[in-house]
Structure 1
Amino acid sequence: MMFLLVPLLLCAFPPSAAEGRLRQFYIMKQRSNNTSAAQSLCRVNYTDLVTIYDQQDNIKLQQLLNSSSFQQGWIGAYRGNYSLKWSNGDDVTYSRYSPSYSDQTRCAALNANGDWESILCNETKHFMCYEQDGDGGTTYNYLLIPQNKNWSDAQLYCRENHTDLVSIRNEEENTLVKNNGTQSNTAFWIGLLNDNVNWRDGGPSAYRNWFQEFEQSRPNAFMRLTDGRWTRADINNNYPLCYKSFIHVSPAEMSWEDAMNYCSSQFSGALCLESENDQTETQRELNRNNISAPVWVGLRQSRLFGFWMWINGLQVRNWTNWKGGKAPEAALSQHCAAMEKVNGRYTLTDKDCRSTFRVVCEKN
């Protein structure tokens, strides 16, 4: 297995406040000469070796490295089997991809026939981004970008200016993407990546930041202090770069009311989504733990007034990803909310409060 070394970005033991409320980065001040030992230290003290999900994570880690006395450290990437991955973390439930080389890193481009071509990711092409409706619904707007970029640069452009490179979950979406890309004279990038990089904690990250001059078949890698690029090297004696998740999913199922009591007695309370970052981090945590069944969260509807409210008093914001695109109305609602996976993406949905599911709690 190939593990990545990242220049140690955390000075001393304090966490970085930049990662978000539900995930923080830490550095262990104890060297490990292999990734198994590094992972053991992270799991004993925090959650796991860090997974890098996007450019923002990479920049934060590089900034933390610059402020520390350490030069590099282990992160949780390793070389495993080749597999298909969507840029936004969606499950690959539909595919028209026939890789020409199953043992090479390739990316998918959609052609005029709606088929997906297997192409080296460093080639430059037009690309398709998507945006989610502002009401948090399940309708997506597709945008063909008539600029020539390699796959990684196209991914970065879509994430900075829209939501991400487009993912396709069924034949209907494939047709919509094809029809929205008719202005491109050649096949254009979609968000599908085929490579052999996986993450030790099971995180579904398709973000890559390799320094191209280095051979990717080498067993281990580290992030360079100078530019944050990842390069590969032999095993070294380095510090583990860890993260801590402040999300807990109960092992047992229970009613919504019992779930709220469980979280408040054992942890700081049931999960409340205070921002889009909270929503993203929760989806990542559920994804990496392969949880697709409904899980309770701290959201309930007022039976008297009909509005939905988080148990910490916060209102439900317009970015909240409801199943069907909007919050259920009072007369038709079942009054308690859970998150569940629908077509590969997590959404909020109303459930009978007496139903029994696992619950997502916030840890101190």
Structure 2
Amino acid sequence: MDQSSWLFVLLLRQIALSAFQDLMYHFINENKTWDEAQTFCRKFYTDLATVKNMKELKELERLTEPDGGTDGGTDGGTDVWIGLHQTSDNPKDRNRKWLWSQPEVQFNEAEAEAEWGEGQPNDGGGAQNCVAFHDNNKCKIHCIISKQISCSTESSSSTVMIQERRTWLKAQQFCREHHTDLMSGLDQQRQFQDKYPTRPLNSNYWIGLSRDTWAWSDRSNSSFRNWNSDVNPLNNKCSALRAQGRWESDDCDLKKPFICHGGEFLKIHKTLVRISLSSAVDLNPHDSSVLKQLEDHFRANNLHVKLSWKRGKDGKVFQKQDQV
């Protein structure tokens, strides 16, 4: 019996073509300066990409892989512009903003006021933009000094003390790779105090509090940062995404590909689709693999969709149709 004599009806009665609830990203494989990229994104989408958490960062990484976007992504070594830019080149700028490393934890100025050690905060000896926990108080220290680390975890213990000394950026990278993040927020800080009531005298532990003059192009207040721990983000005014999701500051006049967010696809659409397929075999045992192939096809065309089958009363996706 030839293939055309078998006809199956693919019912997608509840196929949801929907954008991410957070941000929809678009990789643009055209070389532009940061300002030109910003203008392009605001004209055709919403703005240059904002990143709010590690999940969104992973999506940006996927888009820039060689086969990630509709334009084929980058060659694996090319960096791309994102929407973070520096509003001042003065490391002691009075408008620096305090940020917790965990983006879901908001900095509360009133709560933090009572936690500073005597004479803190100050910029003695130069800009002090990273914070360490010292004798139950917070004190500002130069970010490039190596200190012990306090990480947050997903376990019930919540925090963990790491004796190994690292700079603040390397400490943040270590905590994100091996635990969850640097300790962030007063709740975690108090739990750390309860868990480690006795610590070596004059010991300092990095916590996830820092301040900077960086801002997102769309004026959102995301505190998420993922700087390359081997560079100084103050060197230049525009940020670029590089290998392994790390960020570096670069000359804004350099031309690079870039990532936009938003645009018309940000709206949520639901579409019901009925499709007929011809096959020489029963496709029902393979319905999950067929669904995956469809999703891969949409993703290859830079469309982020959630697909689901509408099953018949017999629980099957594909229904045999009378021979035409």
For Structure 1 versus Structure 2, the TM-score category normalised by the shorter chain is: 0.5 to 0.7
- Hey, what does 1:14 align to over in structure 2? none
1:193 to 192, 210, 231: 210
Deviates more, 1:236-245 or 1:184-193: 236-245
Distance 2:128 2:231 in 1: 15
TM-superposed CA distance for 1:43, in Å, is: 3.8
Residue 79, structure 1, aligned to residue 78, structure 2:
no
1:76 aligned counterpart, secondary structure: strand
Percent identity, aligned pairs only, is 21
TM-score under structure 2 length normalisation: 0.56
- Does residue 91 in structure 1 map to residue 91 in structure 2? no
Offset, 1:224 = 4.9
Alpha-carbon distance change, 154 to 57 in structure 1, aligned in 2, over 3 angstroms: farther
Per-residue deviation at 1:192? 0.3
Q: CA deviation at 1:107?
A: 1.1
Contact 1:74 1:241 in 2 (8 A): yes
What is the count of residue pairs matched by the alignment?
Answer: 226
Q: Give the gaps of 5 or more residues in structure 1.
A: 1-18, 135-139, 249-265, 270-311, 313-364
Structure 2 residue runs of 5 or longer lacking an equivalent are: 1-18, 67-72, 88-94, 272-307, 309-324
Residue 178 (structure 1) aligned to one of 152, 171, 193? 193
Does the alignment pair 1:108 with 2:115? no
CA distance in 1, matches of 2:179, 2:231: 30
Query: Alpha-carbon deviations, 1:122-167, whole Å to 9, x = none?
Result: 2222222223567xxxxx6222122222222222232233322212
Q: Distance in 2 between matches of 1:29 and 1:229?
A: 18
Q: Match of 2:257?
A: 239
Deviation of 1:205 (Å):
3.1
Structure 2 counterpart SS, 1:101: coil
Q: 1:124 to 1:211 in 2, by over 3 A?
A: closer
Q: Check conservation: 1:92, 1:169, Cα contact below 8 A.
A: no
Q: How far apart are the structure 2 equivalents of 1:211 and 1:166?
A: 18
One-letter code of the match for 2:38?
Q
Alignment correspondent of 2:149: 127
**How far apart are residue 105 of structure 1 and its match?**
5.5
Go from structure 1 to structure 2 and tell me whether the alpha carbon gap of 1:224 and 1:30 turns closer, same or farther (over 3 Å shift): closer
Alpha-carbon offset, residue 34 of structure 1: 4.3
Question: CA RMSD of the aligned region, Å?
Answer: 3.9
CA shift in 2, pair 1:159/1:20, >3 Å:
farther
CA distance in 1, matches of 2:173, 2:233: 23
Larger Cα Rg: Structure 1 or Structure 2? 2
Q: Hey, what's the Cα distance between the residues in 1 that align with 2:253 and 2:142?
A: 28
Q: Shift of residue 176 of structure 1?
A: 3.3
- Deviation at residue 63 of structure 1 after TM alignment: 6.4
Alignment-derived partner of residue 51 in structure 1: 50
Matching of residue 147 in structure 1 with residue 164 in structure 2:
yes
Are the counterparts in 2 of residues 42 and 49 from structure 1 also a CA contact under 8 Å?
yes
**Conserved 8 A contact 1:25-1:241:** yes
Q: Distance in 2 between matches of 1:42 and 1:60?
A: 18
Partner Cα separation in structure 2 for residue 167 and residue 69 of structure 1: 34
2:85 and 2:160 map into 1 onto residues whose CA distance is 33
CA offset digits 1:152-206 (Å, max 9, x no partner): 2222232233322212236xx6443234343354111111011222222314234
Report the counterpart of residue 164 of structure 1 in structure 2. 181
* Aligned residues of 1:34 and 1:237 also touching (Cα < 8 A): yes
Deviation (angstroms), 1:78: 1.1
Say which structure, 1 or 2, has more relative contact order (CA 8 Å, 6+ apart).
2
CA distance in 2, matches of 1:132, 1:142: 9
